[in-house]
Structure 1
């Protein structure tokens, strides 16, 4: 006689988990591990981090996965170490070296020239992503095309580097290391900044190390390691708190909240971009945006 099946573990409540991602793991690896300790398949991430990078990775749990595409559009901040003196196939330290500058050329790189190069890469710029990035070319990821042996040409795209501050410069024997803080728009590649800074100085460059410190309003202060989360699986913010932290808030009266629950449109809020709609009980109902004089639900967050 077979033994009875153990009771199914109830689904966790919806919300966000802020992870301090370790080096050596892909963002998908982190999601796979989170699925195990959170007890649900409904886990996703906002804003991919490369395996070599560490820091803030925002995970959505259950209905909060609906927020992730909107969170990924936010600005991000990084602590980076750029290595000047050689270029690589991936524009970071994990790639094969393509070319190295001679020692004399590296020795001639002056701090003032670095500062000028950084200034040219600050503000609204046109950036060509790395050939091994996740950018889609005709529906296929660039890195997949590279692995298939294709020559990949990615057109430049507009990005914004709000802040590119040099924290320190170290002149080593065969390279120069530059520590910097970079605050940028979504879609900006810090390794492309390293590549372009080195190219502008005539010695080549690549990203040596990267740590993401913020994604929108979410910071390392809220982040926990995977080991900590596995020991105590819990949300960093529940769904209501997550929307309140990440989006402008619009509080509705009972009648207007009822209209939203019935799929009806309501008058525009006069708010810019996407905002959260909250019922009189303080629970979030949807993400919405103004369109032609009405508030249109972009993402419905009510339980199924």
Structure 2
């Protein structure tokens, strides 16, 4: 009895405008169903609270994601000064609230000075509730299990940190939620009281290297100003060359699913080298080519018919294939 052939989805990139409340894995699962293939992955996690650009690879384009994960990213965010939280964002419980008078003493000039200090190359400690692995387990899983997690700092680059708007207000605490009838499952520990009192909300725009946590920028800015800080909104506007201008919602993709073909996606994301037939044949067989001065940066190599043959990198007098996509 013969087995029916597996349906194979198209090769290409889908730039999704992720909605709030979904994990990046949820988006990948949805794209798998729409594309008719399980070979789908993404280039950089977005928290459930966050929205915006999530670059998703389908079929052979999943192999390009390795070279897109490290691309510079851009975000629009809102930082709230006046309190710190367990998760460094609005989804976590209150840890500490600023003492009386401290928030009122935070001037725009102090905010701008704090932002300048967080621009450039930094040693940043990721949020404890992050996807960083500690002894094989995600940090957020350890925190939710009640463990205390201390992560090592890492070097990141914040190339742009612009203050767009400042809003000052006084929060009134919401009424406490009724106690659950049964014990809740293990989750992020609940600490402190409902936030109230004066706050300063900062709308900011950030360009940064891969691995930078915008939640940690909010936390560190609040700590430097002595009032605590956390993130209340986050929208990723760009991953490398892919921005919101080419992103599509899941609803739009459900109505008409399409990918950016793998060759077109590579032309946008990488420098290009045009090959002749002999060079293309050599790359397909894993052979090196003569360098043409493009350097070590990953480069997309295209056959005479415009198809993507490989991702290559030059070292000295030769160019070697990093990833071969034909043959």
TM-score after normalising by structure 2: 0.88
**Structure 1 CA distance for aligned equivalents of residues 6 and 276 of structure 2:** 36
Partner of 1:188: 212
**Structure 1 CA distance for aligned equivalents of residues 211 and 118 of structure 2:** 15
**Structure 2 CA distance for aligned equivalents of residues 64 and 54 of structure 1:** 23
Structure 1 position 139, deviation (Å): 3.1
Q: Deviations over 1:193-212 (max 9, x none)?
A: 00000000000000010001
Partner of 2:227: 203
Structure 1 position 104, deviation (Å): 1.2
Structure 1 position 148, deviation (Å): 3.1
Structure 1 position 288, deviation (Å): 1.2
Say if 1:194 and 1:206, in contact at 8 Å, map to a contact too.
Answer: yes
Say if 2:10 and 2:35, in contact at 8 Å, map to a contact too.
Answer: no
Partner of 1:269: 292
Partner of 2:254: 230
User: The residue matched to 1:228 in structure 2 has which SS?
Assistant: helix
Alignment of structure 1 residues 52-131 onto 2, 5 Å: 52-131=49-128
User: The residue matched to 1:132 in structure 2 has which SS?
Assistant: coil
Partner of 1:151: 148
Structure 1 position 231, deviation (Å): 1.1
Say if 1:268 and 1:294, in contact at 8 Å, map to a contact too.
Answer: yes
**Structure 2 CA distance for aligned equivalents of residues 75 and 135 of structure 1:** 19
Say if 1:9 and 1:39, in contact at 8 Å, map to a contact too.
Answer: no
Partner of 1:291: 315
Structure 1 position 227, deviation (Å): 0.7
TM-score after normalising by structure 1: 0.94
Which of the residues 248, 260, 272 maps onto 2:283?
260
Aligned residues: 299
User: The residue matched to 1:168 in structure 2 has which SS?
Assistant: strand
**Structure 1 CA distance for aligned equivalents of residues 66 and 143 of structure 2:** 26
Matched, 1:170 2:193: no
Say if 2:284 and 2:324, in contact at 8 Å, map to a contact too.
Answer: no
Which of the residues 36, 40, 43 maps onto 1:39?
36
Q: Which moved more, 1:214-223 or 1:9-18?
A: 9-18
Q: Deviations over 1:9-66 (max 9, x none)?
A: 7422200001000000000000001111111101100011000000000100000000
**Structure 2 CA distance for aligned equivalents of residues 86 and 292 of structure 1:** 53
**Structure 1 CA distance for aligned equivalents of residues 139 and 310 of structure 2:** 34
Structure 1 position 75, deviation (Å): 0.4
Partner of 1:23: 20
**Structure 2 CA distance for aligned equivalents of residues 302 and 99 of structure 1:** 56
**Structure 2 CA distance for aligned equivalents of residues 179 and 204 of structure 1:** 16
**Structure 2 CA distance for aligned equivalents of residues 19 and 200 of structure 1:** 35
**Structure 2 CA distance for aligned equivalents of residues 169 and 106 of structure 1:** 13
**Structure 2 CA distance for aligned equivalents of residues 291 and 147 of structure 1:** 46
User: The residue matched to 2:38 in structure 1 has which SS?
Assistant: coil
**Structure 2 CA distance for aligned equivalents of residues 198 and 218 of structure 1:** 31
**Structure 1 CA distance for aligned equivalents of residues 138 and 290 of structure 2:** 41
User: The residue matched to 1:197 in structure 2 has which SS?
Assistant: helix
Say if 2:283 and 2:324, in contact at 8 Å, map to a contact too.
Answer: no
User: The residue matched to 2:211 in structure 1 has which SS?
Assistant: coil
**Structure 1 CA distance for aligned equivalents of residues 144 and 106 of structure 2:** 34
